[in-house]
Amino acid sequence: MSDTQPISYVRDTMLGQQEPPATQRGVVKWLRENLFSNWLNSILTLAALVAIYLILTSVGPWLLNSIWDAESLRECRDILDGTPGACFAVITDRWHQLLFGFYPPEHYWRPVLALVLLLIALAPILFAELPRKMLYFSAVFPFIGYHLLWGGSVWFPISVFLGFVAGYIAFRALAKVSALVSVIGAVAATLVWWFFIAGPFDAAMYSVAPIGLEFVRSESFGGFLISLVIGVTGISLSLPLGILLALGRQSDMLFVKTVCVVFIEFIRGVPLITLLFTASLLLNYFLPPGTNFDLILRVIIMVTLFAAAYMAEVIRGGLAALPKGQYEAADALGLDYWKAQRLIIMPQALKISIPGIVNTFISLFKDTTLVVFIGLLDPLGLSNAIRADTAWTGIYWELFIFIGALFFIFCFSMSRYSMYLERKLKTDHR
């Protein structure tokens, strides 16, 4: 064979790029891979489509034929004239009660402003890209939020804040002695300030400069306002308390470990509704006569303790999942216990525990509806009060759809943030 003779089975020109088959691209490919990948998935997809069709044909006309402007359920029915339709006029008429309870209408701006400031305070905690200086505002927001919601003397939240300042000063002053002594001194200084100095300081400052907002009693709180107050406070406090309980349960000190184990097992073995009844009825029996301990504060304490016990077990699971080599590496670096926990152990344990932590947060937020059993009117409690009005007697679904939608927005947001955080902290390449 000569060198110039072409080889028949070797192509001397390149083929142009061609479109993939119709079954391997676009919507058809997505449907094949996700909905019709095999016979079982195909049957389940068709069954789901039939179910969705039946739901839409049943509920769709009812929702599309909604009435938003009426004074009563009877007026809604007169407008509908026998045709199926939702009477969302109850939301238009009573939305302020569902959101604010019996909070004075002229002061609605206060909880609204507190919510806006809460979002600003949470932003640097949830998103590390924001300036770290914003954390100073996050630290003082609880005192600002309390004053906006309850009002009263502006010097009261300031005096409470100064208690933390006194504790910090004591901690720094005793830091050279030992870590344990500095912690005990900080706690003692804070408690001494709160119990013996905060009251006289508040009274003295208010007599000199009577600055503050109109006081709103806790009995006026209700609706989603009370759910947010209890839920956000419980979530914020249960995480650090749960971390301490988890570390205490793994401690080598017998007394600390025993206290933490007994607390966790007792709280987890008692229903939350029992703790709420304890906060409502029994806690006053253990307080000095004449003590006026706010009911919402009692509920917040019990809800926080309840969530902290579950949080401790979630975090303990994250600690148990860490390889032993991480602890040995911290020891090899010469780190003491708290530095090892802060720099090596706890960041990894919290990363592992993110799904469980957020699940506990969501469960806590939904459990705030249980306060209706101790006389606090959450959204569900207010729905019963609204239905007791003769104008809206007999209405159910519209109220529950609205309440469920608001709870879904909050819980779904927490779930999506959890997924965002997991993706951001993912360091492996699987």
pLDDT surpasses 90 at 195:
no
Average pLDDT of span 78-105: 89
Q: Is 16 left (phi over 0), alpha (psi -120 to 50) or beta?
A: beta
- pLDDT confidence band for 9 (50 / 70 / 90): low
pLDDT surpasses 70 at 201:
yes
In a domain, 418, yes or no: yes
The pLDDT value given to residue 234: 92
The pLDDT value given to residue 427: 65
DSSP 85: -
Average pLDDT of span 200-229: 90
- 299 and 240, same structural domain? yes
The domain total for the chain is 2
- pLDDT confidence band for 140 (50 / 70 / 90): very high
The pLDDT value given to residue 375: 82
Tokens of 205: 């400052």
C-alpha 407/C-alpha 415 separation (Å) is: 12
In a domain, 281, yes or no: yes
C-alpha 380/C-alpha 164 separation (Å) is: 37
- 261 and 227, same structural domain? yes
In a domain, 28, yes or no: yes
In a domain, 387, yes or no: yes
The type of residue at 90 is V
What's the mean per-residue pLDDT of the chain? 87
CATH number of 402's domain: 1.10.3720.10
Residue 51 domain boundaries: 23-64
Of the residues 41, 64, 87, the one at which a domain ends: 64
pLDDT surpasses 70 at 2:
no
The type of residue at 148 is L
Query: pLDDT digit string (tens) for 54-71?
Result: 998 888 888 888 888 888
- 80 and 60, same structural domain? no
C-alpha 368/C-alpha 385 separation (Å) is: 18
- pLDDT confidence band for 422 (50 / 70 / 90): confident
In a domain, 227, yes or no: yes
- 93 and 29, same structural domain? no
In a domain, 150, yes or no: no
- 99 and 34, same structural domain? no
- 274 and 332, same structural domain? yes
pLDDT surpasses 70 at 6:
no
- 306 and 329, same structural domain? yes
**What is the separation, in whole angstroms, between the first and last Cα of the chain?**
54
Query: pLDDT digit string (tens) for 267-281?
Result: 999 898 888 888 877
Tokens of 240: 């650090």
Tokens of 223: 């609706």
- 98 and 34, same structural domain? no
Burial level of 7, CB count in 10 A (0-12/13-18/19+)? exposed
In a domain, 151, yes or no: no
pLDDT surpasses 70 at 294:
yes
Burial level of 123, CB count in 10 A (0-12/13-18/19+)? middle
In a domain, 252, yes or no: yes
Of the residues 64, 84, 118, the one at which a domain ends: 64
Of the residues 42, 64, 86, the one at which a domain ends: 64
The pLDDT value given to residue 182: 84
The pLDDT value given to residue 288: 62
The pLDDT value given to residue 265: 93
Query: pLDDT digit string (tens) for 167-193?
Result: 989 888 887 777 778 888 888 999 899
The pLDDT value given to residue 276: 87
- 80 and 58, same structural domain? no
Query: pLDDT digit string (tens) for 237-246?
Result: 999 999 999 9
